[in-house]
Amino acid sequence: MLKFLIRSVSMGLVTALLVLLAVPSLRQNIIPENLTAQPANNGDLQISFNQAVRKAAPAVVNIYSRQYKENDRTTLSTQGLGSGVIVSDKGYIITNYHVVANADQIIVALQDGRVAAAQLVGKDQRTDIAVLRIEGGNLPVIPLNPNYSPKVGDVVLAIGNPYNLGQTTTFGIISATGRSSISAGGIQAFIQTDAAINQGNSGGALVNTLGELVGINTASFQQATDLETYGISFAIPYQLASKIMEKIIADGRVIRGYIGIDGQDINSVTARLLGNEHIGGIIVLGLDPEGPAAKAGIKVQDIVLMIDGNKLNGRQGVLDLVTDLRPGTTVNVKILRDGKELTLPVNVGEDTRE
């Protein structure tokens, strides 16, 4: 019996090998196209992400922020260094707000040797996003995939210009997603990665192994102590950066909706008691007494279930949903109070906080 099993397995392996040799197209299902196995000098095989870098790197630019000297308004000096990503053939570039925050002039250097003065289309301090535009033909555009969803463990590459050494690529994985605790007020979710992001990398591209834009490199983790940290860096998700860019291009700034509530996710025990249809809601813990929600009758300890007909997905989902509401519009907010569901009309205000 054992000899029969061994003979059957051996014949199966030999048959599979012959099929792969005879039909090369089947090999693509075993070795992904983006991971190219290349023979090294010693005859071994090595995995390379060269194709991903070649697709993405030309669209990652160096950005130099220049300011007039304090006592001489006729002389400009370079004060800031960063990176940016060309995301449109119309010349739009996404970078970080802090890269160009105090700039009197912004110079963009492409990897093909071209240099251009950039127009500041708009900036948003809260998300640390700025949008620039340059003139030029045949501009390289980074591959974009709005359907890509970052997952922990995905391999990523950070491309930028650290310390003005020249374009550099570092390698790592996505360590975590949804890191909102590091942003001011916890209003923004970051991608955490162990790919090195140093000074000058800010505004550069975090890409996946297909060269597609995953996020905008922003910062490395800094503690209040003198202890150095390694392998903890953060990027703004491409989906958020793209949304902010569209708002800036349309209105010159980011217009955010505001209803004046804050809260926390319903825990698993409460969710089971309320029923599955209420999963994703939040318990109101903070309320602006002069805000739209308070004026509409919402109270602390109410459970918010739906906003404008949309089911909620936790605190971060509420923040994202409210931000996209247009000031001046009226939306229905469904709440649960003392076991009874209520629907209250709320007149959306504008969030003017920085």
* Rounded CA separation 157/161 (Å): 13
Q: Exposure of 120 by Cβ count < 10 A (0-12 exposed, 13-18 middle, 19+ buried)?
A: middle
Angle at Cα 99 formed by Cα 256 and Cα 213, nearest 5°?
70
263 with 243: CB under 8 angstroms? no
What phi and psi, each to the nearest 5 degrees, are found at residue 91? Answer: 95, 10
Of the candidates 294, 320, 97, 293, the one whose C-alpha atom is nearest the C-alpha of residue 189 is 320
**Structure-token pair, residue 182:** 């590091």
End-to-end CA distance of the chain: 75
Residue 222: C-alpha distances to residues 182, 198, 225, 230, 302 (Å): 10, 11, 8, 9, 37
Structure tokens of 205? Answer: 């591209």
Amino acid sitting at position 95: T
Name the active-site residue from 175, 202, 220, 233: 202
- Spot the catalytic one: 65, 83, 124, 128: 128
Q: Structure tokens of 277? A: 């249809």
The tokens describing 283, both together, are 């318990």
Q: Is 128 a catalytic residue?
A: yes
Residues ≥6 apart with Cβ < 8 Å to 152:
173, 174, 175, 176, 177
218 and 235 Cβ atoms separated by less than 8 Å: yes
Residue 83 a catalytic site member: no
Compute the radius of gyration of the chain from its Cα atoms: 25
Provide the annotated active-site residues: 98, 128, 202
